Amino acid sequence: MDTHRLQWIELARASLSHNLKQFRTLVGPEPKLLAMVKANAYGHGMSRIAPLVLSEGADWLGVHSLEEGIALNELGTKAPILISGYVALSDLEKAVARGLRLTVYNPETVDRLGRICRDRRLKAYVHVKVETGTYRQGVESEGLETMLERLQGHPGIVLEGISSHFADIEDTTDHTYARRQLDSFHRVLAGFEKKGVRIPIRHMSCTAAAILFPETHFDLLRVGIGLYGLWPSKETYVSCLQQNRKPVTLLPVLSWKARVAQVKHVPKGAFVGYGRTFRATRAARLAVIPIGYSDGYPRHLSNIAHVLISGQRAPLRGRVAMNFIAADITDIPGVEVEDPVVLIGRSGEDEVTADMLAAWGGTINYEIVSRLHPGIPRIVAE
């Protein structure tokens, strides 16, 4: 490892492999697994994670944007790539030329794709998104017939998939609403089949659905947070136990580490950091650590969180600044400049998890990891 790095993210390949195997075992051999690698692979680093998940058995990759799709394509990815977000009409040609799969729900998108296919003699592979109650993206049930006719009117368009997305599966142990969404999706599929239209790839499952509802597995699952070894929520875990399901075991893939930049002696009564929010009640020693909110460490954790140094907890003192935090090491002997600090991950017997940072910061683990700055070096630990 490059010892001059002041901060870095370690990715445990064995944990990623373990998590992927857990999902493969859970869903059986038939459905395809799409690894969600949007948002820089939930902050883990898309260029590192994508080849790893594919070599460990993922079948598809999912991204949000065209830019992410192009980046994967330029890495030489052979697996199919689904863009789950919106692509501007003027950019559709780029997606089609690269064989990127598109999520469609607007007539404007379909017509533009039809023209591109005709003029450029290309095929566009599309997944129509169905509104079942999330009201974010999707064709409402009354618009589906027209959408189908529109798609069928363009010979270059291949209707490869049909999808939907749950609104309220992670935040609750009451899955009445999720079941209603699943029922709507089933009704749509039945309606298509009645017309003799069998769309090859049906998908609706995210991590929570994959774990809790085998009936959502269909032909492909779009799994994100679970692959990275994090549970979607406490409610998902509790629901799993309530349903007497054996929970999958998930191992966090990511650790975030940094090095001490200075050991600072603070006299009793001195203030620490911007806004003087901490005042030393005794003579203290602080480790100044050169990471801050610009790297993705939430400012909200000022005076709340702790980091781990030599396996011991060092509580934050003062505000999280743009590029610095300070942690109290008065009771941790022997800390020296450039000693390693664990911001997320294990040290000795102790661990700071993304879930802990999320709970302290009033957010979810998804936000903690996906906001880790893309410029932090990602290192794969074999």
Ligand X SMILES: Cc1ncc(COP(=O)(O)O)c(C=O)c1O
Structure-token pair, residue 380: 């794969």
Dihedral sign, Cα of residue 131, residue 137, residue 140, residue 141:
negative
Q: Does 165 bind ligand X (CB under 6 A)?
A: yes
Site for ligand X contains 36 (CB under 6 A): yes
101-104 and 81-83: which strand pairing?
parallel
Return all residues near 329 (Cβ < 8 A) that are at least 6 apart: 263, 285, 286, 287, 309, 314, 335
Active site residue 297: no
Of 382, 377, 367, 294, residue with least CA distance to 45: 377
Candidates 84, 106, 102, 85; CA nearest to 93 is 102
* 232 vs 345, beta carbon nearer ligand X: 232
First-to-last C-alpha distance (Å) of the chain? 12
Q: How far is the CB of 212 from ligand X (least distance, A)?
A: 11
Active-site residue (options: 21, 123, 274, 297): 274
With CB under 6 A as the contact rule, the residue among 15, 207, 239, 255 that binds ligand X is: 207
Q: Closest residue (Cβ) to ligand X?
A: 224
Which of 52, 289 has the CB closer to ligand X?
52
Tell which one of 7, 15, 84, 216 touches ligand X (CB under 6 A): 84
**Residue 36 or 157 having the CB closest to ligand X:** 36
Binding flag, residue 222, ligand X (CB under 6 A): yes
Of the candidates 38, 125, 228, 293, the residue annotated as catalytic is 38
What are the respective helix, strand and coil percentages of the chain, to the nearest 5?
35, 25, 40
Q: Which residues pair with 312 in a beta bridge?
A: 309
Residues 235-294 that bind ligand X (CB under 6 A): none
Torsion sign over Cα 82, 87, 89, 92: negative
Which one of the spans 179-187, 220-228, 249-257, 321-329 is the region binding ligand X (CB under 6 A)?
A: 220-228
Q: Of the two residues 12 and 208, which places its CB atom closer to ligand X in the complex? A: 208
- Closest separation in Å from C-beta 85 to ligand X: 8
Note whether 262 and 252 are within 8 A (CB).
no
Exposure on the CB side of residue 296, measured as CA atoms within 13 A: 25
**C-beta closer to ligand X: residue 225 or 325:** 225
Answer for which of 61, 206, 254, 307 binds ligand X (CB under 6 A) is 206
Give the phi and the psi of residue 244 in degrees, each rounded to 5. Answer: 55, 30
Of residues 39 and 289, the one with the C-beta less far from ligand X: 39
**What is the C-alpha to C-alpha distance for residues 61 and 49, in angstroms, rounded to an integer?**
10
Look up 38 and say whether it is catalytic. Answer: yes
Using CB under 6 A as the binding criterion, the count of chain residues that bind ligand X stands at 12
Query: Binding of ligand X at residue 232 (CB under 6 A)?
Result: yes
Question: Which 322-351 residues touch ligand X, going by CB under 6 A?
Answer: none
Q: Which residues bind ligand X (CB under 6 A)?
A: 36, 84, 165, 206-208, 222-226, 232
Active site residues: 38, 274
